[in-house]
Structures are given as structure tokens and as C-alpha cells.
Amino acid sequence: MPSTSARDNTVSNPVIAGFHPDPSICRAGEDYYLACSSFEYFPGVPVFHSRDLVHWTQIGNALDRPSQLRLPPDSTSSGGLYAPTLRHHDGRFWLIVTNVSGDGNVLFTATDPAGPWSEPIRLPGVQGIDPDLAWDDEGNCWCTVAGVSQIRIDPHTGETFGEPRRLWSGAPGAKAPEAPHLYHIGDYWYLLIAEGGTERCHGVSIARGRTPGGPFEPCPGNPILTHRGTDHPVQNTGHGDLVQGPDGSWWMVFLGVRPQGGTPGWHVLGRETFLAPVTWVDDWPVVGEVSPAMPPPPWPLQEPAAVPVRDDFELSELAPGWISPRSRPEENCTTKERTGWLSLHARGGSLDDPEAVFVGRRQQHLSCRARALVDPAEGRGGLAVRLDEQHHYEIETTSAEVQVIARIGPLRSVVASHPVTGGPVVLRIETAVAQHITDARQGPDTVSLGVENAEGTFVELAALDGRYLSTEVAGGFTGRVIGLYASAGTVHFDWLDYEPLEG
């Protein structure tokens, strides 16, 4: 999470680090709420709260019950939930999202954004991803989707009215007009979209009209946000959403990545949530500078919440930051079997299996350390860094041996092994970002895997190139998740701690 520096009066950007893409934001009184895409992970759509737009705390996941989120075992990684829109209207919170692996477009409501959220309201008449919600002065609810098209809906029932109408779709020939958001600001309706694809050519453009359906005139300064063709440390900027501050100022949250290493640059944390100020010139928004160290908003900042670096699994339910691919049945994952331990019961084989039992947290720092105390007496499992089924590194233990395993595309290899004498063992993974680029082919970081001996000293068994756990290599839309898994039998975990290593 971001920090505030008294020395130079700046705050760090991204404001929500790690795999938190496609941010959508709303304000209710003095409070801000933000939701992000979660793709194949369960629970789905993390929800955050802030009082200052800078310091964010996860308060839950909107889709935390199997009845809300169906992700079949054979659904692909980077499938699942795409691009939620979160809005506050008429005293309620509304969240609309696309499940590309199951139910299509679905809508949820809540009186408290921390939950519980409703059962899904299905929208079979809404075709397209990245759905948006906006209400006009007559109370009509308009749903706009990537493409860009729009249809009127009843958000209480999911019924649609009429045929979809085409709207402005960005610059002629620009690919992937998506992430539409519609706002009524002053005398105009503004249609904000992303275009150019979510890679290096990503950008945000805007148009305005007198009605929710247009016609829309494009901003002469489009794109209003992009870092394409630059050497800016934040790339792939796009998928923005606007919010107004308490002093009348405007702000944009958007996604971006922080590539590291040589050419072409690799990002490993996924797409993260950034913040930038917005001013208005001739009734057009102008996005201010995007900086890793930005001036704070002109109002008091709240004290940043302490980031939990250790989980001792003493609660009956896992904290909201823990996620698993596709599902997490209690019979496979529980803290109730052995007091103060997390018990995982294998159902798939290795992490190559879509049904593998894995519980992780997003990697949020370029350099970090994760440690776990593991009792493998009844099975086999360990500590892993996962991007998807075909890209992961893990250190796995039985009661007799520890192995480092690397899966890179079609290749799977046992990289190193080390005997153990039985009983619980401390497994450790460290990532270290490359500080000096000496070769254009140099990767973004090194992932070191090993064990701690009885004196607490790290015994490194392997140091692997981090580029193979990057989006540029693996493809898709997610970022690294560090976590615990069982590949055979039952494995118990006493604790996991996660610690940033950079300043």
C-alpha cells in the first residue's frame, strides 16, 4: 500500500499495488470505494475503502459465495471476472461485472460495500464485456459496454428495453474500444473509454454529448491519458474512472504497470491501480502528471492502515486478501481442523492442474520475502509463486525432502532438492528486482527459493529468472500470487509472513 513521505511531501503511486486492475470508483459522502477485476480467482472482485484516495484498505470481496460466482474447473486462467463498475445510487451500492467463464453480465447490490452483496441479477440481454451503469434525470438506467454500445435496463430485474445503440467508439481504427464509463457532469454527458489494447499502446479517450446516448463529439486532446511511445516508468496506462473530491476537485483512477529489466521490459505484479489529478479546460478533462511519487491531494491524509505481514491462521475464516483459483471448498481448505493452522487437502496433483488446492495473496512489491512454516507429515505441498497453471515456481516439501520446481510453458523441471529430517520446515521465497541493467536481455528480477535451517539462516536452493513469471512471457491479464498449496494428501501451515524488501 502507498506510503507518505514527510521529507518531500509526496505519496507513492500506485495507490493499490500488485494485481489490482480495471479499477472502478465511487464516492458516498466522505467515503470512497473501489473495486477491481479478479479474473479466475475466488472470492471475486476485491472491494476497497478510503477516506483520502491515497490509503486504501480491502474491506471484502463482492462475490464471496459459490452461488454468486461460478467458475468451472475447466475455465481458463485470465478468464472469469472482467472489469467491474461500482456505483452508489439511490442509497445503494451497485456492481456490474462480466463473468466470461460462466454467467455473462451480472449485477449485484448492497447497502454496505463490505457486504453481504446480493445474489446475481442476470443480464442476458446485455451483450459485451466491461459493463457500465449510469442513471439519467428521469431515473432510466443505461448500461454501456465495450464496443461501444448501450442499452436501457431495469437494474432490479435485469430486463432490457429496446435494441442496443452504437455510440462513439474512439479514434478511427484504434483497437479495443472498451471500459466505457458514462457521467453527467455540468452541461454534458461524458463518455470515457479505453482504447489501443491493454498493452503498451493503452490509453484513455473521452467524448461529450447533451444526452446519455449522444451524439458525442471527441475531445480534441485525445487521448487524455497514455504513455505509449515513452520511457515513462509507468506503462500500459488506461481503463480509467473519474471521481470528485470533497473540495470539488476531480481525480482519475486507472491501471498501469511497472516494467523492469531489459528489452522489452517485463511486468510481474500485474496491472496496478494508480491515481492522477484531473483539471477541466473548456469543459474537457485534463489528466495531470502520473508519478511514482505524487503530490498528495489537498486535504488531510488518513493514517495508513497497517499492512498485515503475517497470518497465523487463528481466525475461523480467511482474511479477504486470500484468493484461490476458481473455488475454495471448505473440505479442501480450512482453519478449523487444527487450531492455529491452515489445513489444505489436495484434490488436483501439481500446480499444473486447474483443480490444484492453492491459497495465496497478491505480490505487491517488486522485491519481497515470503516465509511459511509447513508440516507435510500427511502429504506433500509448499510455497509457490503463481502466474497461471503453466507459469509458476514452487518449493515443495515432504517429510523427507524439499524440492524446487519450475514450470515454464510446456516445460516442468525439478531444479534442486534438499533432504530434511522430518517435522515442520520453514520454506522461503525472495524476489529481488534487478538494480543495474547490464544486458538488454536481463530479466526483471530474481526469484530465490530455499529453506531456513535451525538457526534461521536462509539456505538458497535455486535462483530463477523472474521473466518467466511475467505477463510478457505468459500472456493473460493477471499478476503474481504468492501462496500455499497441497499437491498430495494433507498439508498443514502454521503461518505465512510476507515482507517488502525495498524502501
Catalytic residues: 22, 178
- List the one residue out of 475, 355, 336, 342 whose CA is nearest residue 408: 475
Strands 24-28 vs 104-110: parallel, antiparallel or unpaired: unpaired
Half-sphere exposure of 281 (CA within 13 A, CB side): 9
- Give the cell for residue 60: 471484502
Would you say the C-alpha torsion 356, 361, 365, 369 has a positive or negative sign? negative
The three-state secondary structure class of 473 is helix
| 139 conformational bin, left if phi > 0, alpha if psi -120 to 50, beta if neither | left
Distance CA 447, CA 270 (A): 16
Half-sphere exposure of 471 (CA within 13 A, CB side): 25
Query: Cα–Cα distances in Å, from 75 out to 58, 99, 409?
Result: 26, 11, 18
- List the one residue out of 360, 368, 374 whose CA is nearest residue 447: 368
Q: What phi and psi values does residue 205 have, to the nearest 5 degrees?
A: -130, 165
Contacts (Cβ under 8 Å, ≥6 apart) of 503: none
Distance from the Cα of residue 248 to its chain's centroid: 29
